[in-house]
Structure formats: structure tokens, C-alpha cells
Amino acid sequence: MELTEQNEDLAMIRDQAQRFLTESVTAEHLKQLLEQPGSFDRTTWDSAVKLGWPAISAAEEHGGLGLGWRGICVLAEETGKHALSLPLIPSAAVAESLLSGLGGPAGATVGVSLVSGEALSCMALSRSGDAGAAATPEMRYANGRLIGSTAVTPFAAVADYALITASIGAETGLFLVELGQIGVHREIVSAIDNSRAAAVIEFDAAEAMLLADGSQAQDAIWQVLSLVALATAFAQIGGAQTCLNMARDYALERKAFGQQIGRFQAIKGKLADMYVRIEIARGCALDALIALERGDRRWPGLAAAARLAAIDAYEVAARENIQTHGAIGVTWEAMPHHHYRSSRALAVEIGSAMAWRERLLAEVGFDVAKTAPAILSKDGI
């Protein structure tokens, strides 16, 4: 089953995206972005805005195309195939939350600006970087002001708004912060994938819009994280598929001992393992997306499963692609390292695999607090 099956509009958008990305994203272009910490592909993003990508999921009444979260997933998969970093997923997820009523009229205004592409958003939903982790004392909200700093956050170097968590006394609060104001400072950091415009955001008595607190905040946090996890899973699946294709093509081209290396059982085994993991991840992601579209309350748990399967598929595929290429696979000139960098970045940005395992267990009714420590201490779940 394909994402665009029985949807002509999405099929056309996919074809358009494939042509655009094939022409715009080259290995040399990606290497230039890696040279400088905090890099951002502004040219490609501006073109994506003109193509209407930020508006694809939003309702028509908000200036969107009304194609739902499936539209974001289609574009995420295509950008993932090219190891391209754009703030499409975080901006769309934040817009989705704001336009659903979170933040009231003021929040909706920001949501519309994200849909139009006039503004960008990043997400720093926990200090530790793990999905659902409680806000720490380093980030707190008091007397109407925000004080503290975020973890290293993708696209924070270029975003106009940030969706963040912070402590309000003993509770956790969810906030929207305008990043151009006095009291907000950004420290650009070097990362494994510098094209993701990563930075630490520091708040010195900055103004923030409280969107939710307590249990309402926790629900909103997991709603937006689950949306991001689902779209990111498709980006990882797209990247993993490219790695498999690259490894296959090289195995058919490269010869050793007078024959194609693809004839060796060791290489066949690598390719078969990559294929199986990718298809498992694809099935999990499609199940989660269908559940979301049907209004099935189980969809966040399915999104957690998709997140775990996609992390595994992309990391294995990126690693085995390098191994299949041999010595050339680790060189700066070759393409495999771009996908390896992307796989590592996407694996941790919205929470580690361990945190998403705990989330999945919680969704199926497993009492993590009572029983997980003994299980999580072992390899694998």
C-alpha cells in the first residue's frame, strides 16, 4: 500500500516533489551545508513554500490545502530519500496544534503564519531531549516570564517561534515563545548534521504564551510529539529505502574476485535484512496514519511503534550501506555518510528509542513505573 494510493492530488504532489528534489538536492549541495554549524537550506525552503508545502495539511479555512497529515508524510518521505533537512514537520505539527484551538485566537494567528510559510517553528519539549520527560528546573516559568535554556534543538537557529515545556511550580507547562524578542539568545552548536540549524535557546525573563498546564499540557505534548514521530518515521523510511537502493546498485556494479559482490551471501544477507526492516517500519507507519485518519484513539501507540521501527530501519540501512560500499563508503566525497548523519540525528531529536519504548508500553496498559526498570535493564524489549 502506498501513501498516495487512491489520492490523485497527493500523487501529483509526490511527482512534483520528486522532480523538484532531484533537480535541487545534490551531494555537493548537501556537503556545503555540512561545512558550517547552524546551516539552513533557505533556498530550497523558499522554493518549498512557493510550492505550498507548509500548507499541505491545514484546512482550507486556514489557508491550507486540506490534505491532512498524510500530505506531510508524503513530503517527509520524499525529503528523507534525499537526506534533506527542512523545518516542514515541526512547523506543521505546531500549526496543527495551534489551529485546533490551543492558544486561542493569538495561537491561531501564529498557526496561520506557519501554514503560509511566513514563519518557522522549532520544538524543545523537554530539557533532557527524551519524549515526555518532565521539564527540569533549568527551564521555569514565573511571574509571567521564562527563564532557562533548552537542549540542543533542530532549526532553533532560524525559527521564529518555539514550542517548549517549562516548570510552573510542581507542574509542567506548554508554551509558545516568539524568538525575536529581547531576552532570547541563541547559541549555535556543531552537530552530526549541521544542515539542521541546531542551536541552544537561552531565555532571560522572556515573554511566553502559556498554552496548557498540568494534565492538559501532558496530553497536548504527546499529541504533537506523536504527529512529529509519525511524519519523521516516513522521513526515516524514505532515507532507509535510498540506502537500500544505493547498496543494491553498488553491489551490482562493484566486482571482486572476478564477480559482482552482490553474488556473495554476506552482501545478499545485508540487503535482505535492510529490506525486511524497512517493510516492517512502513507497515507500522501506515497503520498509525490510518488510525489517525479514522479517529482511532490508539493511534499515538501505533505512532510510537512506527517511531521505534523507523529508527531501527534507518540506522541499520545507513550503517549497512556504508559497509556494502567498503572503503569508499566512509569518504567525504561519497553519499552514504549523509544518510548516516541523518539517521543519527532523527533517532534522537524527539526522544530516544528507550523513551518511545516506554511510551508504547504505557499506551498498551503496561505499568512502566512498577515493572519497566527490571525489563529496561536488559538488552531489548
The domain spans of the chain are: 8-89+110-116, 121-213, 217-376
Instruction: Show the beta-strand stretches assigned E in 75-198.
Output: 121-124, 139-142, 145-149, 161-168, 171-178, 184-188
Q: What is the pLDDT of residue 378?
A: 44
pLDDT of residue 20: 96
pLDDT tens sequence across 7-30: 899 999 999 999 999 999 988 889
- Give the chain's residues under pLDDT 70: 1, 126-137, 366-381
Q: Cell for 150?
A: 533548552
Question: What pLDDT sits at residue 381?
Answer: 36
pLDDT of residue 197: 95
pLDDT given for residue 133 in this prediction: 43
Instruction: Give the CATH fold of the 8-89+110-116 domain.
Output: Butyryl-Coa Dehydrogenase, subunit A; domain 1 (1.10.540)
CA atoms within 13 A on the CB side of 158: 24
| DSSP symbols for 181-248 | STTEEEEE---SSGGG--EEEEEEEEE-EEEEEHHHHHHHHHHHHHHHHHHHHHHHHHHHHHHHHHHH
Fold of 121-213: Butyryl-CoA Dehydrogenase, subunit A; domain 2 (2.40.110)
Measured CA to CA in angstroms, residue 130 lies from 114, 203, 225 at distances of 25, 20, 11
Distance between CA 55 and CA 345 in Å, rounded?
25
Query: How far apart are alpha carbons 299 and 186 in whole angstroms?
Result: 35
Its sign, for the CA torsion 214, 168, 349, 195, is positive
Distance CA 5, CA 13 (A): 12
102-123 per-position pLDDT tens digit: 989 999 999 999 999 999 999 9
Per-residue pLDDT at 137: 41
- Beta pairing partners, 168: 171
Quote the pLDDT of residue 258. 83
Q: What is the CATH number of domain 217-376?
A: 1.20.140.10
Place of cell 494510493: 5
pLDDT at 278: 98
